[in-house]
Homo-oligomer: A and B are copies of this chain.
Amino acid sequence: MSKAREADGGGAASKRIHGSIARKLGVAIVSGQHQPGDVLTNEIDASEQLQVSRSVYREAIRILAAKGLVESRPKTGTRVSARARWQLLDPDVLAWFFESEPSEDFLRELYELRMIVEPAAAALAAQRRDEVQLERMRAALVIMQHETLASEAGRAADRDFHDTVLEATSNGPLFTLSSSIGAAVRWTTIFKQRHSELARDPMPDHWKVFDAIAAGRADQAREAMERLVSLALEDTRASIDAPADQV
């Protein structure tokens, strides 16, 4: 599982060298390979081992520090920060988590967050969405229905739907969570698909959310989204507990 993952691994962060170094170190940290408190190899040796210049290595460290994963001080060196300081909702950090088979606990916690945020967001979206957003939600669900979650296009449409709901809240900080929730949706969906197709058809739940938002019924939208997320959680949990099909 430490093999190159093409889902997003070659994507945004790893075009430049400093980005790929940051990703490599980030994955090593969030996967527990470097524990909080551990001191990293000093810049000179580390950059030598990684075959990059010290400048590049330093820029990678700056990225990690900006996301709360490490802290640097002269003489002491660069050490992994306490987990409480990690920006777990940062899209990159989240992506790094999912590059190395996250723990079941972590998945559960993410679902818990979705369970808090998404129903409330759906309620706000029902009150504030405009026609353009509504149309985008509808289009996303249509694509999702045709393509199913087995294809990347279908999964992208799923994320697009959830993103647009967040966007329709007209709440900037809340919308920031869409990249986090989107990441959670993306990876957990892949987990589900990895096992047998015992997963239920997700479309009826999605349409109910959409209809409520379209009708402007906040409470109904909240409840529909609650059902959607909790059912998704059940499916994910089932596919984790179940003996793997193709390991």
Contacts and interface: CB of A to CB of B under 8 A. Distances in A.
Nearest to A85: B179
B18 A172 contact: no
Interface string A60-101: 001101110000000000000001101111101000000000
A173 B116 contact: no
Interface stretch (A105-113, A197-205, A237-245): A105-113
A83 B174 contact: no
Nearest to A65: B63
Contacts of A177: 89
Instruction: Give chain A's interface secondary structure class.
Output: helix
A174 B66 contact: no
B113 A116 contact: no
Contacts of A92: 66
Contact of A62 (B66, B112, B117, B180): B66
Contacts of A109: 171-174
A166 to B, nearest CB: 10
A244 B203 CA distance: 53
A167 B82 CA distance: 14
A173 B66 contact: no
B59 A89 contact: no
Contact of A63 (B18, B55, B66, B83): B66
Contact of A112 (B63, B89, B112, B174): B174
Contacts of A89: 89, 173, 176-177
A202 to B, nearest CB: 23
A120 interface: yes
Given A55-B55, A180-B173, A90 B87 contact: yes
A227 interface: no
A174 B67 contact: no
A186 interface: no
A175 interface: yes
A116 B112 contact: no
A208 interface: no
A116 B174 contact: yes
Given A86-B176, A89-B89, A109-B171, 17 more contacts: A55-B55, A59-B62, A63-B63, A66-B66, A83-B172, A84-B175, A87-B176, A88-B173, A89-B173, A89-B177, A109-B173, A112-B124, A112-B171, A112-B174, A113-B171, A117-B117, A173-B180
